[in-house]
Amino acid sequence: MMTPKEYIDSIKKLDLTVYMSGRRLENITEDPVLRPSLNAVAATYSLAQNSDFEDLLTATSHITGKKINRFTHIHQNSEDLVKKSKMGRLIGSQTGCCFQRCVGMDALNALSITTYNTDKKHGTEYNRRFLKFLEYVQEHDLVCDGAMTDPKGDRSLPPHRQKDPDMYLRIVDENKDGIFVRGAKVHQTGAVNSHEIIVMPTISMREEDRDYAVAFAVPSDTKGITYIIGRQSCDTRKMEGGLMDQGNLFFGGHEAMIIFDDVFVPNERIFMLREFDFSGELVEKFASYHRQSYACKAGVGDVLIGAAQTIAEYNGAEKASHIKDKIIEMNHLNETIFCGSIACAAEGHREPSGTYMVNTLLANVHKQNVTRFPYEIARLAQDISGGLMVTLPSEKDLKSPVTGALIDKYLKGNENTSTENRMRILRLIENITLGSAAVGYLTESMHGAGSPQAQRIMISREVNIREKQKVAKRLCGIRENEK
């Protein structure tokens, strides 16, 4: 397994084409906007080296029998799924942000199932290719970006009827050695911190859309791939030189749009080639795994609750009954998020491939809770913090010989707490609920792993409503064959 330094050095060696704010970046690992996100991924390597967390952060490869990072592991039992949930919460609580490796892990596990099932039906050899790729990922402890979401263009039209056919990533040419693909993937968390890009279809395809039914993996610096970094609230604070106004001094996240301009994919890296009948299964397997992964929001919630309790004490309000009740409610909501992730893991089952799959119903219920509860937790944190959270003067004003003393005098709270520390904790709360970390805590909670409506559709499919009706009728004496 790689050390954090080895991981960062490996990213430095990549020849990526990355644009941000209208300019091409020459050194992404030292860019002040992107470096916090790199640090967050590096934390997954650091914690894996820590003997205290070894049980959660590492696993044994079912291919080689070697010790590997759990982010490259294929779940072999329900215990693996439970450990995945606990790992997500742990790292979220240590970084206070999105640490970017879950989506790749979930893509690997979904492909381990669908490639096997596709081979059984169509006589293909995708699973052999996949296992070879997986062994490579495990051996080198690589970060994979799972790329599923297409721009989609006009949402009322299927891929083949779009005015611009590139609104969904597609096969545009092929030869005996492989295929050429064109299109884009959006909302790609941690994309430029990844070694490999794993592409999957974004919806269930029909025969007319067979050229869009494609799954593959390519190195992140493959010719023809361009990354465009998305904006985040308060992101330019990272370029101002100071640290306090960033809130989180060490970690962060990033999102990117990935453009594929006639990118070549060799045959050995192709895991679906027009098998449209398995596109829906791959989407649903991946989505359920990734919805389980939102245990990480309970970890970030731990940080936010700790910050809310701290500002209550700094404000001198921690003994007020309504403050105590709000902290209790934040904990209740946060632990409910974690319960859902553990439940869908504990109720997991073995697929024919040998991979363990989460309980799809409970994974979708869990993610539906995540679309709501972090918003309420954030609201309560803002309530407890007070308006100063968003009207604070800057770090430069605090350090100014003219205004510093005035800020120190008038923004002091509890007499045992410095004004600077009060400002620091408020900036952290701002960062998680409104700033750049809010992408990973709030917006990602809403739209990550699919929209809330997608989860409700899955819940309606998975719930056996007829069985519920049958029991209700039996208990009150209704006979099924009577009107």
Are 249 and 196 within 8 A, CB to CB?
A: no
**Could you tell me the two tokens for 243?**
């640290």
Q: Is 102 marked active-site? A: yes
Residue tagged active-site, from 195, 254, 290, 366: 290
**Could you tell me the two tokens for 306?**
């700790």
Are 180 and 130 within 8 A, CB to CB?
A: no
Residue tagged active-site, from 98, 227, 284, 289: 98
In the chain, the amino acid numbered 341 is: S
Residue tagged active-site, from 115, 189, 371, 433: 189
Q: Is 284 marked active-site? A: no
Q: Is 212 marked active-site? A: no
Q: Is 189 marked active-site? A: yes
35 to 193, 219, 234, 264, 377: CA distances (angstroms): 10, 21, 15, 30, 28
Residue tagged active-site, from 97, 144, 255, 360: 255
Residue tagged active-site, from 7, 45, 102, 115: 102
Are 290 and 449 within 8 A, CB to CB?
A: yes
Q: Is 98 marked active-site? A: yes
Of the candidates 363, 404, 450, 483, the residue with the CA atom closest to the CA atom of residue 150: 450
Residue tagged active-site, from 97, 202, 212, 296: 296
Q: Is 322 marked active-site? A: no
Residue tagged active-site, from 313, 395, 430, 444: 444
Residue tagged active-site, from 294, 314, 356, 441: 294
Residues in a beta bridge with 229: 256
Containing 91, the helix (H) or strand (E) segment is helix 78-95
Residues in a beta bridge with 256: 188, 229
Q: Is 208 marked active-site? A: no
Q: How many residues does the chain have?
A: 483
Q: Is 290 marked active-site? A: yes
CA atoms of 453 and 461, how far apart (whole Å): 12
Q: Please tell me the number of Cα atoms within 13 Å of 336 on its side-chain side.
A: 17
CA atoms of 141 and 46, how far apart (whole Å): 13
Q: Which residues are catalytic?
A: 98, 102, 189, 255, 290, 294, 296, 444
